[in-house]
Chain A
Amino acid sequence: MSELRELYQSVILDHNKRPRNFGEPAGAKRSADGDNPLCGDKITVYVGVEDGIVTDVGFVGEGCAISTASASLMTEAVKGRRLEDVERIFEEFHALVTSSSQSEPELESLGKLQVFAGVREFPMRVKCATLGWHTLRAALEGSGQTVSTE
C-alpha cells in the first residue's frame, strides 16, 4: 500500500481537512472559476497583484482531497511571489505530477509541493492536482472564462 501512502501523504490529508487561505481575501481584485465536470470539482481562485507580486490569494470550492489540498498548498506557495516565479513554479509542479515529463523537475524549488509527486502514478488524478493552478493562471490572465480540466 506504499502507492496509496505516497499519494495521500499526511500533508495532503491535512490540507484537505483544513484548507489554508480558504475564502475570498480582501485584497484580491481578480478571480476565476474552474471546474472538473467529470468528478464535480468546483473552485474559485481569488488573487491580488501589486507591482508584479502576488500580494493576496485565496480559494473556495469543493472537491476531492487532491484538488483541495493542491489549491491550498498552491496559495501558500505563490503568496508573495513574483508573477514570473508563479508561472515557473506551476511549470515545475506540472512536470512533477505528469508522468510524461522527460526531465526530472527541480524538486528543491518546489518545497512543500513535492508531496504531490505521487500523483504521477495516477494519471486520472493529474487534473485534480492541477485544477487550482489552471484556475489561478486564468485569474491572473483575467480571461473571465471558466477553466475546465475536461
Chain B
Amino acid sequence: MTFDPERARRDFPILAREVHGKPLVFLDSAASAQKPECVIEAVSEVYRSCYANIERGVYELSLRATEAVDAARRKVAHFLGARESREVIFVRNATEAINLVAWTWGRRHVGEGDEILVTHMEHHANIVPWQMLCEQTGAHLRVAPIDDRGQLLLDELEKLITPRTKLVAVTHVSNALGTINPIEEIVRLAREHGVPVLVDGAQAVPHQRVNVGALGCDFYAFSGHKLFGPSGVGVLWGRAELLEAMPPFMGGGSMIRSVSFEKTTYQSIPHKFEAGTPDIAGIVGLGAAIDYVTGLGLDAIAAHERDLLAHATSALEAIPGLRLIGTAERKAAVISFVLEDAHPHDIGTILDLEGIAVRTGHHCAQPVMDRFGVPATARASFALYNTRADVEALVAGLGRVHEVFA
C-alpha cells in the first residue's frame, strides 16, 4: 500500500481553511496534531447515540458506552504491543501519566539519597514531576548529558546508573530537537542494574511503530492529542505487576471496590488508577485515531516523514544565517532552528501572516535551550498530512523574514 499524503490531507477538515487570507500550512504537530474527520465523527457519535456514564448503569446506553471505552482500551493495548489491556490506564495526557508514576510508584520506591536519572533533552513534563518527588523524599535528580548534535551520550548515562538509581526516565523522541533515543539500548543498560525505565512517548507514537514489549521498558506514556486524537485523553502503559503493586493515584468513584468510613478497598488495575468519570468521548476518539493511523500504516507514515525531514533539512540548511538546533543521526521530523537576524518570536509572527503555523519559544525544554546557548528557537514539526509544498511555503516565509530583518 502506498501512502498518499494529498489524500490524507483531505481527511483533515481544518487543513482546508485559510489563515490571514493564505492557505493554512500547519507545522506545529509536535505541539498538538490536527484531527481527521473520523475522529471528530467518533466523538460526536458518542454524544449522539450512546452517551452515558460508564461502569455504572444496568441500562442499554451505559452498557454501550462502557463497551466503547473497553474497545478503545483494547485498541491502545494492541497499538502499543501490550500483553493485556488492563495494563492501559487512561489519563488526561502524558504529563498526567508521568505524574501518576511519580506520585504512586515514586513515593513507594524512592527515598532519601536515592536517584532518578533523566536526560538533558527531556520535556519539562519528564523533569518537574521527578524534581517534585526529589524535594519531598530527599532523593536526587541526575541528568545524562547530550552532545552538540543533541544525541544522548550513552556512556555517560551508563556511568550515572548507580546502586542508588531507582528509575531512568527518558523521552523516546525529543520534542525540541527531534532526536530519537535508542530506548532498547537504554533499557538494556538499566536492566543490568535492575533499574526500571519510564519512557515519555508523546512525540514517538504519531510517527513510528511502538512496541513496549520490544522496547523492554516498564512504563510508557503518551498523549492522545498528538496522535490526532482529542485533547484531554492520554495513556499510561505499565507492566501489570508494577501497576498492581502501586498505591492508587487519586481517590474517588470508579477506583474503589468498597467504601466504609473505617476502610476502603480498591479496584484492580486499570480502574484503580481511574478515579471519577473519564473523558468517555475522548477515549473513544483516541480509539478512532489509532484506527486511522494503523489504517494508513505507521511504517508508511514514518517513511513519508523521513522524506520530508530530509527535504526540509537540506532546504533550510541552504538559508544563510540559519542554524539548526538538533542534528542527530536518528531524528524525527522536527526541525528547530534560529536565524542570525531575527528572534524566533518575530519569525513566528511573520510566518503566521503567511498562514504558516510554527512553534516559537523554549518548547517546554528550557535545559535544552541552555545547552545550545539560545533563549528560544523556531520549530517546524511535520506530520503525516504535511507535504513538500509545506516545506516550500516555509522557505518562502523565511524569505519574508529575511526581507524585514536584513
List A contacts of B346 (CB < 8 A). Answer: 8, 64-66
Distance between A60 CB and nearest chain B CB, rounded to angstroms: 13
Q: Which B residues between 348 and 395 are near A, CB-CB below 8 angstroms?
A: 349-350, 353, 360-362, 369, 375-376
Which of B342, B349, B362, B405 is A40 in contact with, Cβ under 8 Å? B362
Task: Quote the shortest CB–CB distance from B309 to chain A (angstroms).
Answer: 25
Of the residues B343, B349, B362, B404, contact of A124 by C-beta under 8 Å: B349
Q: Is the CB of B343 within 8 A of A13?
A: no
* A62 with B349: CB separation less than 8 A: no
User: Is B344 part of the contact surface with A, judged by Cβ < 8 Å?
Assistant: yes
Please indicate the chain B residues that have their CB under 8 angstroms from the CB of A122 in the complex. Answer: 349
With a 10 A CB-CB cut-off, give which of A63, A64, A124 has the most chain B CB atoms. Answer: A64
Min C-beta distance of B406 to chain A, whole Å: 10
Query: What's the least CB distance linking A49 to chain B, in Å?
Result: 30
Q: Which residues of B contact A66 (CB under 8 A)?
A: 345-346
Q: When the two chains form the complex, which single residue of A3, A40, A65, A125 contacts B361, counting CB atoms closer than 8 Å?
A: A40
Asked if residues B369 and A40 are in contact (CB atoms below 8 Å), the reply is yes
- Cα A125 to Cα B345 in complex, Å, equals 9
- A39-B344, A39-B361 known; A4+B369 contact, CB < 8 A: no
- Asked if B349 and A125 sit within 8 Å, CB to CB, the answer is yes
Question: Which of A8, A40, A128: most chain B Cβ within 10 A?
Answer: A40
A76 within 8 Å of B by Cβ?
A: no
CA of A83 to CA of B375 in the docked complex: distance in angstroms?
33
Q: How far is B361's CA from A64's CA once the two chains are assembled, in angstroms?
A: 11
Q: How far is the CA of A62 from the CA of B345 in the complex (A)?
A: 12
Q: Which residues of A contact B (CB under 8 A)?
A: 1, 3-4, 7-8, 13, 37-42, 62-66, 68, 122, 124-125, 128
Report yes or no: A64 in contact with B353, Cβ–Cβ below 8 A: no
Which residues of B sit under 8 angstroms from A41, Cβ to Cβ?
345, 375
* A63 vs B344: C-alpha distance when bound (angstroms): 9
Inside 8 A of B349's CB, which chain A residues have their CB?
A: 7, 122, 124-125
Name 10 extra pairs, CB < 8 A, besides A39-B361, A39-B362: A1-B353, A1-B400, A4-B350, A8-B405, A13-B405, A39-B345, A40-B362, A63-B343, A64-B343, A65-B346
Distance between Cα atoms of A8 and B353 in the complex (Å): 13
Can you report 11 A-B residue pairs in the complex whose CB atoms are below 8 A from each other?
A1-B353, A3-B20, A4-B353, A4-B400, A39-B345, A39-B376, A40-B361, A63-B343, A64-B343, A66-B346, A125-B345
Inter-chain CA distance A41–B362, complex, in Å, is 10
Pair B342/A65 contact, Cβ less than 8 Å = yes
Given contacts A13-B404, A128-B345, contact A40 B376 (CB under 8 A): yes
Chain B 95-118, CB-CB to A under 8 Å as 1, else 0, gives 000000000000000000000000
The 4 A-B residue pairs with the shortest CB-CB distance, nearest first, are A40-B375, A64-B345, A40-B376, A64-B343
B343, closest chain A residue (CB): A64
| Interfacial chain A residues near B400, Cβ < 8 Å | 1, 4
Bound-state CA distance A20–B353 (Å) is 29
Decide: B375 and A62 in contact? CB cutoff 8 A: yes
Determine how close the nearest CB of chain B comes to the CB of A146; give it in whole angstroms.
Answer: 15
- Chain B residues in 8 Å Cβ range of A1: 353, 400
